[in-house]
A and B are shown apart, each in its own frame.
Chain A
Amino acid sequence: MAKAKITFTDIEQTVNVPAGTRVIEVSERIGAGIIYGCREGDCGTCMMHVEEGWNNLTEPSVLEEKVLRENMASRHDRLACQAQILGDCKVKPA
């Protein structure tokens, strides 16, 4: 299975994950600083900033785009409960 590295820069921790893993699954177990609310892409609480590897996450859905807009997300912000890791990337809480 393809692997990818995700780095949580707030805690300087990198995890080697199977491609397709959602960011939420990793960040909660590793204790990164991203905070979660509904866990289903609705509340916007888990917004994170992608520092590197923006293109190595799955594309945001129409619903995620809407929530990001409502939360005044900047260009490289995503919802950690929705984004799946496809390749190496670096993220931190937004």
Chain B
Amino acid sequence: MSSAASVIARDRADQARAVEVAPGVHWVGALDPGLRTFDIILRTANGTTYNSYLVRGEEGVAVIDTVKAEFAEDFFARLESVARYDEIRVIVLNHLEPDHTGALPELMRRAPQAQLYISKRATPMLKALLKPRDDRPLTYTTVGTGDEVSLGGRTLRFLHTPFLHWPDTQCTWLAEEGVLFSGDVFGCHHCDARLFNDLCGDFRFAFDYYYAHIMRPFKGYVVDALKLIEPLPIKLIAPTHGPILRDRPRRYVTRYRELSTPSLAERIDQGERSLIIFYMSAYGSTARMAEAIRAGAEEAGGIRVSLYDLEGGEIQPFVDLIESADALVLGSPTINGDAAKPIWDLLSSLAVIDLKGKLGAAFGSYGWTGEAVKMIEDRLRGLKLRVPVAGLRIKLIPTDEELEECRDFGRALAGALVRGEQGRVIDFADLG
């Protein structure tokens, strides 16, 4: 924690009061303005929040998610400002990651009568968190889309939205107030004590950054979840991180729809496949191979072939291109027994996108050893790409015959793409 951040953090205990976000719905979460790196990988310039909510019905109270363990004191102070522990009938866990369940064991100790509601996929995680024993059994209810629990005059309905961003994730809908408790969906790491999106500083970059790192690998599941979320008459979105979205909440739903729609969809004709070749070249030989592979692949028709010199571009836009492509072909010379560093930089940046179903291939010119092609192929397989055509290596400067081999390599890749294997029986041995 930086010194400036620790000063901010020291002041927080005095501010621990609940904030009403809708009639009978209170924010009882915690502010973590000192955090600069979340989960090792995400940077945050002004910290984050752990949002927990309390819903009051005529027959009891529900607590929806808790906070990170270190912030339990703030959470309980805020909770106590609007409810007694013996009023809590329901605890809903929309997501069981420790930043939302850190205060759960103590909450269960203080409100032992409360029933836990979790998604159908959350049981193993709940058990791993709470470590039940024969003498200390665990009772809970698993719920899916359509299930509901009444608090008296108020009903919590559950939406099964798995893999956003863990298998256990779900959303909870309070129909009477139009409030969607969305878990990490629509969240971001942005800490502002003013809480509401119309009062906070500009957090648009944090919203997109969070999506890009947390939700993007699960775009297909985002789209499935949006089918459940979009029809709801939402007045307010209450996520587990960042600002509470009460001003035009539907904008954030629309933004998720935009971010989950393939960016190349309008550029690539219906049914056209996309093959992208990236290469590095020290003396022009691997570049010439790349040109020949492109020429071969283009002969097939029905394929949009793109060729890029990695030396001339930034990684991030290339990652975007790969996300929308059907095949990824990488060319590298071998330098001191390895592929060139930009190739590895690109290949180590693909964890944020879904690579399922894509084809991969590798090629390259080499001077004396030529290990790069095999190493790239192994990495592509490690990323779960299918490598249908064996890698192509050429020693030093390609001859006309060798360039024809390159065109054949391109033709073979195009064949694997255009044939599409739908409906055809593939042999296991050909899967690469």
Query: Interface residues, chain A, CB within 8 Å of chain B?
Result: 5, 11-18, 21, 26, 28-33, 35, 37, 42-45, 67, 70-72
Contact = CB atoms under 8 A, between A and B. Distances in A.
Given A31-B384, A72-B123, A44 B167 contact: yes
B427 interface: yes
27 contacts: A11-B357, A11-B422, A13-B421, A13-B422, A14-B424, A14-B425, A15-B425, A15-B428, A15-B431, A16-B427, A16-B428, A21-B428, A26-B431, A29-B384, A30-B426, A30-B431, A33-B356, A35-B163, A37-B167, A43-B124, A43-B167, A44-B121, A44-B167, A71-B120, A71-B124, A72-B120, A72-B123
Contact of B127 (A11, A17, A28, A70): A70
Nearest to B122: A71
B226 to A, nearest CB: 17
A5 B426 CA distance: 9
Main secondary structure of the interface of B (DSSP, over half): loop
Contact of B357 (A14, A31, A37): A31
Contacts of A16: 425-428
A32 to B, nearest CB: 8
Nearest to A14: B425
A70 B123 CA distance: 6
B426 A71 contact: no
B423 interface: yes
A12 B377 CA distance: 26
B386 A44 contact: no
A72 B424 CA distance: 34
B432 interface: yes
B68 interface: no
B431 A31 contact: no
Given A11-B357, A45-B167, A67 B124 contact: yes
A45 B127 CA distance: 15
Contacts of B431: 15, 26, 29-30
Interface string B377-411: 00000001010000000000000000000000000
Given A14-B425, A18-B428, A33-B356, 4 more contacts: A11-B422, A26-B428, A32-B356, A72-B120
B377 to A, nearest CB: 13
B142 interface: yes
Among B120, B124, B127: residue with most chain A CB under 10 A: B124
B121 A71 contact: yes
A35 B219 CA distance: 13
Nearest to B426: A15
Interface in B162-206: 163, 167
B367 interface: no
A31 B120 CA distance: 25
B428 A31 contact: no
A5 B358 CA distance: 22
A28 B380 CA distance: 12
Interface in B94-124: 120-121, 123-124
A72 B426 contact: no
B262 interface: no
Given A29-B386, A31-B386, A71-B121, A13 B426 contact: yes
B220 interface: yes
Given A30-B386, A31-B357, A44 B422 contact: no
A59 to B, nearest CB: 21
A32 B386 CA distance: 11
A5 B427 CA distance: 9
A79 B417 CA distance: 30
- 5 cross-chain pairs, A with B, having the tightest CB-CB distances, nearest first: A31-B357, A29-B431, A17-B428, A72-B120, A70-B123
Contacts of B428: 15-18, 21, 26
Contacts of B356: 31-33
A26 B427 CA distance: 10
A42 B128 CA distance: 11
Contacts of A15: 425-428, 431
A13 B426 CA distance: 8
Interface in B347-391: 356-358, 384, 386
Contacts of A21: 428
Nearest to A85: B428
A37 B431 CA distance: 22
Contacts of B120: 71-72
A35 to B, nearest CB: 7
Contacts of A28: 384
